[in-house]
Amino acid sequence: MIEGVIGSPLVHGHPPTVADDCLLRNAWVCPEYVRTRSADLVAATAEHLQITLISVVIGAVIALPLALVARRFRRLRPGVLGVSTAIYTIPSLALFSLLLPFTGLSERTVIIGLVLYTLTILVRAVLSGLDGVPEEVRDAGRGMGYSTNGLLWRVELPLALPVLIGGLRIATVSTVALTTIGTIVGSGGLGDLISTGLSSNFKAQVLTASVLCVVLALVLDVVLLGVQRVLMPWRRRGEGR
Amino acid sequence: MGWVGDVIAWFQDPQHWQGPNGVPQRLLEHVGVSAAALGIACALAIPLALWLGHVHRGGALAVGVSNVGRAVPTYAVLVVLVLMPDPFGLSTLSILVALVLFAVPPILTNTYIGVSEVEPAAVDAARGMGMSGPQVLARVELPLSVPLLMDGVRLAAVQVIATATIAALVAGGGLGALITDGFARQNQAEVVAGALCVVVLALSVEGLMALLQRRTNPLPTVRAR
């Protein structure tokens, strides 16, 4: 029943249209691809977002107490910073691979790897944010009768907030980019689309997924910037530093 | 924990230490392309950043490029380059270009900040002594910005080693190829062994760069930061 020559548009059962053309030409930019595969794109973006958010949230929840411990017990500090530099130095592909014997081909492998990277950024951010609190302010707080804990929560952490959110922004943006490498264990969100696009030489899929990745990173960055403005209304004029 | 034994056995197998997929050959590829990329990135970024910092212009560009570099996945850039027509495609050039693209931002940003934040009083004093613009740059601004510059080169080196590993996902060579080869053959020992090789290389490079950073600091008594 095939009427057209093999490979001609007629094989697909309907006359060629201009919109189809970009798929046939294997163009980089193809609205028809976005239209016909929107379900795939949405699913991959959702998975990407989920992996990123889970990793950053877990990272933040662990980073704060870890940094506080490293601050309280001064002797631990060089160790914590040294380990975090070492983890930061390990390439993502190698880190995911090292987790393979423990967590196998699963999303957990990617999330644990990303949590480790997030930790290295956030622990540093908490420590340098708290280091940046002027000693006079601390003295004034003590003079007002704050306990060590009260000083931390009511004075030091609020003043360190710009640096903390700065760290959170860097961690989030890098995590979005690193999630793509999760494709090596089959959970890379948009990275999976890039990967299948590579193996089937499907340019529109590669470029669309790549652009979505960057857009996702920028959107999350802007959201965090908004959070900073809401939390620190007194700093709305002019960026710190 | 049987996998530990498998990994040790993998390292003990002399087959894995010779031939095109052996550790030495893969290491050589990895170091070769990384060193070339780092050299090219330094040659491009350092002069540009020195000049921008000297004239105090283009700060948004010099700093923004790092933020953009962080948001763009290295894997995406590698795949896009590989799907490009000649002279890109599956070639060393594609991988080299991707590595350079990701090595430039940290060097550019750090060098720019280093030069532009040199104490204005020091620059004024140099001018008062009769130094010309280029002399101020070469004798005052450059030496004072070396610690930050080297920080940027160190970050770039770490980034390049990591990106060169990911290059294996798009059929590049290097130590990452041991990992991807292991995944393709479902050989976990090879995956872990390859990853360990990458870790040793990355940590060695970081250590060497930290040493170099300390050695090149013209003000050794004043610790950076």
Interface pTM (ipTM) of the complex?
A: 0.90
Query: Which chain B residues have a beta carbon less than 8 Å from that of A100?
Result: 188, 191-192
Task: Check residue A5 and report its DSSP letter.
Answer: P
Residue B16 within any structural domain of the chain = no
B137 domain residue, yes or no: yes
Predicted confidence (pLDDT) per residue in B149-196, tens digit:
999 999 999 999 999 999 999 977 899 999 999 999 999 999 999 999
Enumerate residues 136 to 195 of chain B having a beta carbon within 8 A of any beta carbon in chain A: 158, 161-163, 165-166, 168-170, 176, 179-180, 182-183, 188, 191-192, 194-195
What is the domain-level CATH number for residue B141?
A: 1.10.3720.10
Q: What's the structural domain count of chain B?
A: 1
In a domain, B103, yes or no: yes
Q: Which domain holds residue B212?
A: 2-9+22-216
Q: Model confidence at B93, in pLDDT bands (50, 70, 90)?
A: very high
Cα–Cα distance measured from residue A101 to residue A95, given in angstroms and rounded to the nearest whole number: 12
* Residue B17 domain flag: no
Residue-level pLDDT at B90 = 86
- Give the one of A89, A101, A206 whose C-beta lies nearest to B202's C-beta: A89
pLDDT averaged over chain B? 91
Does B36 contact chain A (CB < 8 Å)? no
Say if residue B45's pLDDT is above 50. yes
Residues of B with Cβ-Cβ distance to A168 under 8 angstroms: none
pTM for the model stands at: 0.88
A56 contact B CB<8A: no
- Give the pLDDT score at A5: 39
Query: What pLDDT is recorded for position A236?
Result: 61
Q: Which residues contact B63 (CB under 8 A, 6 or more apart)?
A: B109, B112, B113
Whether B225 is in a domain gets the answer no
Tell me, yes or no, whether B15 lies in a domain: no
Q: Which residues of A touch B183 (CB under 8 A)?
A: 184
**Residue written as tokens 């330094």?**
B42
| Contact (Cβ atoms closer than 8 angstroms) between residue B45 and residue B112 | no
pLDDT band for A17, please (50, 70, 90 cuts). Answer: low
Q: Quick check: A101 contacting B, CB < 8 Å? A: yes
Whether B88 has its CB under 8 Å from any CB of chain A: the answer is no
d(CA B222, CA A141) in angstroms, rounded, equals: 32
Give me the mean pLDDT over the A210-235 stretch: 91
Pick the CATH number of A31-230 from 1.20.120.140, 1.10.3720.10, 3.40.50.1950, 1.20.1050.40: 1.10.3720.10
Task: Measure Cα distances from A4 to A1, A11, A13 in Å.
Answer: 9, 6, 9
pLDDT at B225: 45
Q: Which residue shows structure tokens 């951010």?
A: A125
Residue with tokens 């609190």: A133
Handedness of CA A229, A231, A237, A241 (dihedral sign): negative
Q: Where are the beta strands (DSSP E) in chain A?
A: none
For the segment A168-197, what is each residue's pLDDT rounded down to a tens digit? 999 999 999 999 999 999 899 999 999 999
Whether pLDDT at A240 is above 70: no
